[in-house]
Amino acid sequence: MLVISLSGVYLISMAPGLTWANYGTDGGDLITAAATGGVAHPSGYPVYLLLARLFQLLPVGSLAFRTNLMSAVAAVAAAVLVYELVTRAALPLSERGNWLAGLASAYAFGLSPLIWSQAVITEVYALHALFVASILYLSTEYLSVRFAQKQLDRFLGLLVGLAIGNHLTSILFLPILFFAKFVQSSGILPGTSLKASWRLDIRGLLNRLIWLGIGLLAYLSLPLRALANPPINWGNPATPFGFVWLVSGRLYQDELFVLTLASIWERCQVIAALLLGQFGILGLVIGLVGLIIFFKPSTCF
C-alpha cells in the first residue's frame, strides 16, 4: 500500500520533462552529463550519473522524464526504509502499534514538501535520502542479530563510499564508521567496565575502511569520462588539478567556509523555517515529545 500510494502521488505530480521547478536548476546539467558520458558540476556526482544512465535506457517518456523517474523510485525506496526503521524501533506495545507508527512516519517523510519536491524532478537529493535511510537501516540492532558482523561491516562501508559518490555531505557518516567500532567491540553489557567499552575493533574497522574505499572508486569514472572529451566536462578531471578541483567542490568553498555570526544565525533561521514548513508546529511537537520519551540509544553500528 505504501509503495503503490506514494508511487501514484509522485507519478501524477512528476515533471514530464526538464524543469527548473523545486530549485531543480541542475537538471539540465545532470541529464546531459548522464546521457553523453560527461562530467557534471562539482563534485561530479559519479554514482548519480551511473544510475541515471540506467534509467535513461528505459523505453518510456522523454529522456528527462526517465531521469526524473529515478528520483521517484529513490524516494519511494527511502520511505519504505523509514517504515522499516520505525517499525523495528517502535516500542513493542503491539504488532499493530509498530505497524501504525512505521506507516505514519513513512507517509510523513514521503509526503513532506521537501522530499516530495525532489521526488518529481532530476536532482541528486532523492537518491541522497535513499542512501541516508539505507545507512541508518544497516546500523540497526535488528539486522545485527540476523547477519554476521563482517557482512554488515562490508555493506556499511560500501554504502557510505557510494553515498559520498552521490553527495559529498555523506562524509558526515565517516565518524560512525570509526566511533562505532570503539563502542561495539566491547559489547556494552551490564557489568562492562568503562575502560573495556572503548577498546577498538581494528579488524572490523579495517573491513569497513576497505569497502569504503571500494565504494569511493566510483570517482575514478570521472577522469575516464573526461578522456572521451564529452560536451559536458566540468573541470576536466582527466588532469590531477582538474580532478581535485572538481571532487573537492572548490567552486563552492567560499560559500561553505566563510561563516560569520550573522550568516550562522541566518542559516539557523532557514533550518527552523524549513522544519516548520515540512511538518508544521503539531508535527514538530509530536516528534520532539516522541524523541524525549521513547528514544532508546542503540549500541549496534
Residue 260 maps to a domain: yes
Counting the structural domains of the chain, the total is 1
Report the C-alpha gap between 141 and 293 in whole angstroms: 20
79: left (phi over 0), alpha (psi -120 to 50) or beta: alpha
In a domain, 245, yes or no: yes
CB atoms within 10 A of CB 9: 19
At 47, is the secondary structure helix, strand, or coil?
helix
pLDDT above 60 for 164: yes
Q: Is 4 exposed, middle or buried (0-12, 13-18, 19+ CB in 10 A)?
A: exposed
Residue 135's contacts (CB-CB under 8 Å, 6 or more residues apart) are 156, 159, 160, 163, 173, 176
> Does a structural domain hold residue 10?
yes
Count of residues making up the chain? 301
Mean pLDDT, rounded, for 260-285? 80
pTM: 0.85
Q: Is residue 122 scored above 90 in pLDDT?
A: yes
Buried b (16+ CB within 10 A) or exposed e, 150-189: eebbbbbbbbbbbbbbbbbebeebeebbeebbebbbbeee
**73's grid cell:** 523510485
Residue 189: what pLDDT?
46
- Torsion angle of the four alpha carbons 257, 220, 127, 123, in this order, in degrees rounded to the nearest 10: 70
Q: What is the pLDDT of residue 141?
A: 61
Task: For residue 170, tell me if it sits in a domain.
Answer: yes
Looking at the predicted structure, is the pLDDT value of residue 6 above 70?
Answer: yes
Query: What mean pLDDT comes out for the span 27-49?
Result: 97
Per-residue pLDDT at 80 = 96
Give the Cα separation of 83 and 109 in Å (integer): 9
Q: Is 299 within the bounds of a domain?
A: no
- Asked if residue 148 is part of any domain, the answer here is yes
Percent of the chain's residues with pLDDT above 90? 55
What's the mean pLDDT in 74-103? 78
Q: Are 111 and 150 in contact (CB under 8 A)?
A: no
Q: Is residue 189 part of a domain?
A: yes
Domain assignment of residue 55, given as a range: 2-294
The pLDDT of residue 255 is 62
Does residue 300 sit within a domain? no
- For residue 180, name the pLDDT band (cuts at 50, 70, 90): low
Q: If pLDDT is split at 50, 70 and 90, which confidence band does 284 have? A: confident
Residue 98, pLDDT above cutoff 90: no
Q: Could you read off the pLDDT of 237-260 as tens digits, one per residue?
A: 999 999 999 999 877 766 655 667
C-beta of residue 71 within 8 angstroms of C-beta of residue 2: no
